[in-house]
Amino acid sequence: MSVWAIGDLQGCYDATQRLLERLRFDPAVDKLWFCGDLVNRGGQSLETLRLVHSLRANSVAVLGNHDLSLLAIGERTPDEQRKVNLDLQRIVLADDRDQLLTWLRTQELAHVDRELGWMMVHAGLAPKWTTTLAEKHAREVEKQLHGDGYRKLFRNMYGDKPNWSPQLGGYDRSRAIINVLTRMRYCTPRGRMAIEEKGGPGTQAQGLYPWYEVPGRAERDLKIVCGHWSTLGLMIGHGVHAIDTGAVWGGKLTALQLDTDELRIVQVAGRDVTPPG
């Protein structure tokens, strides 16, 4: 048996199939952890979502920012849905859209396996969040996503503010939790996020730190695997394994084995495009 975490798929179906073949993935014994952003930009989002859905008995997935956007688009009118990019249109207008979107909405924002010793989130954690706090806050929002109030959450989840504070309530609190778990890259030691900063370390404004290097950050008792940050690339350090290696931008699609003390990484070529400058 092997447990593999896989970085952002972003609708790169062909690359995903190549990676599963390289892993010799056997659904009878192996398990997959998907780090979120299953869809968007890759041109094969419907096929990718169908593939991951077909593997649901042998996999877990956390929601990324693009997945949440797809779910929100799924609640709009057909006329509004036809205004989004064709990659997402193909999902929300597909015959099996309800099955796919209902399954996607019931996925987690943070997946924890304490026996294995790992936590998976899409983007990152707030500086003062322990893994226990991160899991608690993720469950708060998942309760809304999985319940009857998910449509109202989708209408209120967009926006860069407020920054996380334990005193927040209502949809401000939900939005801040979502932003941390699905959009975090840089922040200040007090937890103010700089969502507009998307480059690799060294390009950020003064006073900002990668979320996993913030001075005074909480001690964490689990290793963390995440995606979201393609310009960071493969980064292993500070107890964090960041594995979004830009498959959708012409980089690589990366898998990391979680059930071994050895560092085992498998990569395949991503989408055949010229990466951005």
Please check whether residue 113 lies inside any domain of the structure. Answer: yes
Please check whether residue 89 lies inside any domain of the structure. Answer: yes
Do residues 129 and 221 lie in contact, with contact meaning Cβ atoms separated by under 8 Å? no
Q: At residue 276, does pLDDT exceed 90?
A: no
Paired tokens of 188:
């200040």
When pLDDT is averaged across residues 28-56 and rounded to a whole number, the result is 97
Q: Give percent of the chain above pLDDT 90.
A: 97
Please check whether residue 244 lies inside any domain of the structure. Answer: yes
Do residues 253 and 32 lie in contact, with contact meaning Cβ atoms separated by under 8 Å? no
Model confidence band, residue 272 (pLDDT cutoffs 50, 70, 90): confident
Q: At residue 17, does pLDDT exceed 50?
A: yes
Give all strands (DSSP E) within 24-182, no chain letters.
31-34, 59-61, 110-113, 118-121
**How far apart, in Å, are the Cα atoms of 53 and each of 100, 104, 105, 113?**
7, 8, 12, 21
Model confidence band, residue 274 (pLDDT cutoffs 50, 70, 90): low
Domain encompassing residue 55: 3-269
Please check whether residue 275 lies inside any domain of the structure. Answer: no
Domain CATH number, residue 65:
3.60.21.10
Nearest to 231 by CA among 178, 171, 276, 166: 276
Please check whether residue 234 lies inside any domain of the structure. Answer: yes
DSSP letter string, 16-47: HHHHHHHHT--TTT-EEEE-S--SSSSS-HHH
Model confidence band, residue 277 (pLDDT cutoffs 50, 70, 90): very low
Whether the bond into 127 is cis, omega within 30 of 0: no
For residue 209, the SS3 value is strand
Model confidence band, residue 138 (pLDDT cutoffs 50, 70, 90): very high
For residue 63, the SS3 value is coil
Model confidence band, residue 159 (pLDDT cutoffs 50, 70, 90): very high
Please check whether residue 276 lies inside any domain of the structure. Answer: no
CA distance 174 to 58: 29
Q: At residue 275, does pLDDT exceed 50?
A: no
Considering the chain, what is the average pLDDT of its residues? 96
Model confidence band, residue 49 (pLDDT cutoffs 50, 70, 90): very high
Give the number of C-alpha atoms closer than 13 A to the C-alpha of residue 114, restricted to the C-beta side: 5
DSSP state of 249: G
Tally of domains in the chain: 1
**What is the tens place of the pLDDT at every residue in 171-187?**
999 999 999 999 999 99
When pLDDT is averaged across residues 184-195 and rounded to a whole number, the result is 96
**What is the tens place of the pLDDT at every residue in 75-129?**
999 899 999 999 999 999 999 999 999 999 999 999 999 999 999 999 999 999 9
CA distance 169 to 174: 8
When pLDDT is averaged across residues 192-203 and rounded to a whole number, the result is 96
Please check whether residue 250 lies inside any domain of the structure. Answer: yes
Paired tokens of 195:
């969502």
Please check whether residue 277 lies inside any domain of the structure. Answer: no
**What is the tens place of the pLDDT at every residue in 198-244?**
999 999 999 999 999 999 999 999 999 999 999 999 999 999 999 99
Q: Regarding predicted confidence, which is higher, 15 or 277? A: 15
